[in-house]
A and B are shown apart, each in its own frame.
Chain A
Amino acid sequence: MKARTIIEKIWDNHVVADRPGVPSLLYIDLHLTHEVTSPQAFDGLRQRGLRVRRPDLTIATTDHSTPTTPRSLPILDKVAAAQVARLESNCKEFGIRCYGLGSEKQGIVHVIGPELGLTQPGMTVVCGDSHTATHGACGALAFGIGTSEVEHVLASQCLLQKRSKTYEVRVEGALKPGVAAKDIILALIAQIGIGGGTGCVFEYCGSTIRSLSMEERMTVCNMSIEAGARAGLVAPDETTYHYLAGRPHAPNGSAWDIAVARWMQLPSDEGAAYDKSIRIDANTLEPMITFGTNPGMGIPITGAVPDPNSLSDPLERDSLSRALRYMDLAPGKPLLGHAVNVVFIGSCTNSRISDLRNAARIFKGRKVHPGVRVMVVPGSQQVKEQAQAEGLDQIFRDAGADWREAGCSMCIAMNGDQLEPGEYSVSTSNRNFEGRQGKGGRTFLASPLTAAAAAITGKVTDVRELM
């Protein structure tokens, strides 16, 4: 049999039908849903008189338009409140489990999937959210879909999909102190551009990826979409099995052994061919930060903002000029030392317990710089509980940071958490698009370590100076 990549193996295992002239009908093992991209899909089911085919394979939570203020407070935004209530009522009507507001399992959809052991190796996972690639860290083929496709999955548990190209992202070597998983993915996107992975699924491999924890792999996979790849995954290994064992929805007893035996067949075969490949040398990576208005506009923290005049393509030159105008940055200048108004630590990219531990290492025994607003937003209620059990919340509070409830928060700025026009933030989230964190707001994307350093100094800082 032809040597196959893990991407092809998972795909082949899920093809329900392949008919000439029609994309493959692909079976979906796990569907995650939230308040923002689902109401119109449930309406579609009602209009057609359809039920949810497999309510046992969909799970819902509230995260996007959900405030991160204390849960005892009402949702002040009436439109958001109605949307959150609609998710609850839709789930009730169609028999879907919803970890909504007040649930101890509520959280960002891409944090709770792996946390509950719902995401497992070899699965197909979808969600009406482009950061679904996060689940690829567990060895799953996970990708974001639109609301029409949410309706398709609810109705049929299937999607019509065209096979993607395979893209090997090999990362070799040891990360230097102060360099995080976030820096690997920001460096990749800076290198290949935000359209570099379009039409592809990434497989992250190599010694550096193997040495990452599951949560670090989630950070890397999470931002696959920022390079244009709809999915990105890491083949399962002992790290994966160790992470999954004992989680609520993971198999147990003899079922566990059978599952592991099956998962061990998933890694790409020796000699399997990829459509594209890239190699990244981890030894040379520095902490990264973005300066512009898309995640590909990233530089090493010690680097300088590029000059549009150095680009030959007129549209590319215009894009960079436009970005620098929006960010109000001068070409050729370093970002180090640039004043920041807000620091946001959270989002499906960097809100897990290890992210909070990393940030807390920098905050411990220090104070937030006067005038800087710092929000630390755990990815889930369970992350919040764990952080509090470890006393991390106290470290953040003592430093002067705001410790909040779980949700997407300022990553998407549709829940009350946002930048004011003109403000600069260092954010651990995934997008620095114009207005992404609030109309007129300006975002520098970075790791939790780099974000924490900025919180302490009030400016863009090389975290290695504080370690």
Chain B
Amino acid sequence: MTKFTPFSSRMVVIPIDNIDTDQIIPARFLKITTKEGLGDALFCDWRYDAEGKPKPDFILNKPESKKCQILFAGDNFGCGSSREHAPWALTQYGFRAVISTSFADIFRANSLKNALLPIVVPREIHAELLKTASAEVKVDLASQTLTLADGRAVQFPVDEFSKHCLLEGIDELGYILQQEAAIADFERQHPAPINALA
């Protein structure tokens, strides 16, 4: 993973609450065995018509959305299925952060493992951002700040370990594997209750 650096971007605004992972990437795209090729299918059923042509009025199809790196969405973003294909599709489109008032637990965990930063802002800030949606905002993970168009910096929460991994561009598994001695010790003290191979 590459290191998560500060960036500025305008936002793609989809101000809908409870956007579920089936909308982000419908299940029929989950038959693949790789992670690739999902960016074009992002929000597929909202983005394309019955013939597969882009709907001109859907925001992802508008020219001004092309280089946006931030998705702005309603409350409880990413609810539903645990599919990691959702953050894969979002990052393959080019998003590096999603702003909402809250995120579903599994989606948040998956996003943090894929250099997609879930940014939780208070409701009033969310409402203000919606009013000034065409302006550029700045994301700085190191200081955990979202800088609004008028220069105000809003703090957002990130757990310490995820932040470290994102800033350094490292993944969790490396850390887990370093805990081998503790894992082996735990296994010695706790014999497995089952043997699936038996």
Write the residues of chain A forming the contact surface with B, with a CB cutoff of 8 angstroms. Answer: 13, 16-17, 21-23, 25, 27, 29-30, 36-37, 39-40, 43-44, 48, 50, 53-59, 64-65, 77, 79-80, 82-83, 86, 95-97, 118, 120, 123, 128-130, 144-149, 151-152, 155-160, 162, 164, 194-195, 198-199, 225, 228, 230, 249, 251, 259, 294, 315-316, 318-319, 322, 412-414, 421, 431, 433-436, 439
A144 proximity list for chain B (CB < 8 A)? 82, 106
Instruction: Determine if B31 and A318 form an interchain contact, defined as CB atoms under 8 angstroms apart.
Output: no
CB of A16 within 8 A of CB of B179, answer yes
Give every chain B residue within 8 A of A147 (Cβ-Cβ).
84, 110
Query: In the complex, what distance in Å separates the CA atom of A315 from the CA atom of B76?
Result: 12
Residues A228 and B196 in contact, CB atoms below 8 Å apart? no
Residues of A within 8 Å of B113, CB to CB, are: 146, 148-149
B31→A414 contact, CB < 8 A:
yes
B82 lies within 8 A of A315 (CB): no
Question: Smallest distance from the beta carbon of B189 to chain A beta carbons, Å?
Answer: 10
For the complex, give the distance between the alpha carbons of A421 and B176 in Å.
46
The one of A80, A146, A198, A318 that contacts B110, using a Cβ cutoff of 8 Å: A146
For window 78-103 of B, CB contacts with A under 8 Å fall at 79-84, 102
**B173 contact set on A, CB distance < 8 A:** 44, 48, 148, 151-152, 155-156
Could you list some 28 contacts between A and B, CB below 8 A?
A16-B186, A17-B182, A21-B161, A22-B161, A29-B194, A39-B34, A48-B173, A56-B194, A65-B31, A128-B82, A130-B80, A146-B82, A146-B83, A146-B106, A147-B110, A148-B173, A155-B177, A156-B176, A195-B75, A230-B106, A315-B74, A319-B18, A322-B16, A413-B27, A414-B27, A431-B80, A433-B20, A433-B23
A53 to B186, CA, bound (A): 14
For chain B, the count of residues having a C-beta within 8 Å of the partner chain is: 58
A294 partner residues in chain B, CB cutoff 8 A: 18, 20, 79
Bound CA span A148–B172, Å: 9
B17 touches A319 (CB 8 A): yes
CA distance A155 to B177 in the complex (A): 8
- If over half of B's interface residues share one DSSP class (helix, strand or loop), that class is named, otherwise mixed; here it is loop
Which residues of B have CB within 8 Å of A413? Answer: 27-28
**Contact call A54/B79, Cβ cutoff below 8 A:** no
Taking the nearest CB of chain A, how far is it from the CB of B198, in angstroms?
7
Q: In the complex, what residue of chain B is closest to A145 when comparing beta carbons?
A: B82
Determine whether the beta carbon of A439 is less than 8 Å from that of B106.
no
Spell out B's residues near A (CB within 8 Å): 15-18, 20, 22-23, 26-28, 30-35, 45, 50, 74-76, 79-84, 102, 104-106, 109-110, 113-114, 159-161, 164, 171-173, 175-177, 179, 182-183, 186-187, 190, 192-198
Q: Is the CB of A97 within 8 A of B197?
A: yes
Pair B182/A228 contact, Cβ less than 8 Å: no
A22: nearest residue on chain B (CB-CB)? B161
Known: A146-B113, A414-B27. A434 touches B82 (CB 8 A): no
One of B31, B45, B110 near A77 (C-beta < 8 A):
B31
12 new A-B contacts, CB < 8 A, other than A39-B33, A44-B173, are: A16-B182, A22-B160, A25-B179, A64-B30, A130-B82, A152-B173, A160-B175, A195-B75, A228-B79, A251-B193, A431-B81, A434-B23
State in angstroms the CA–CA spacing of A148 and B23 once bound together: 21
Complex: how many Å from CA A157 to CA B185? Answer: 13
Nearest Cβ on chain A to B116's Cβ, whole angstroms: 12
- Chain B neighbourhood of A414, CB < 8 A: 27-28, 30-31
Contact B183 A40 (CB under 8 A): no
CB pair B196–A57 under 8 Å, yes or no, is yes
Whether A120 pairs with B193 at a CB distance below 8 angstroms is: yes
* A155–B176 CB distance below 8 A: yes
Q: Are A158 and B179 neighbours in the complex by a CB distance under 8 Å?
A: yes
Partner of B186, one of A27, A37, A249, A316: A27
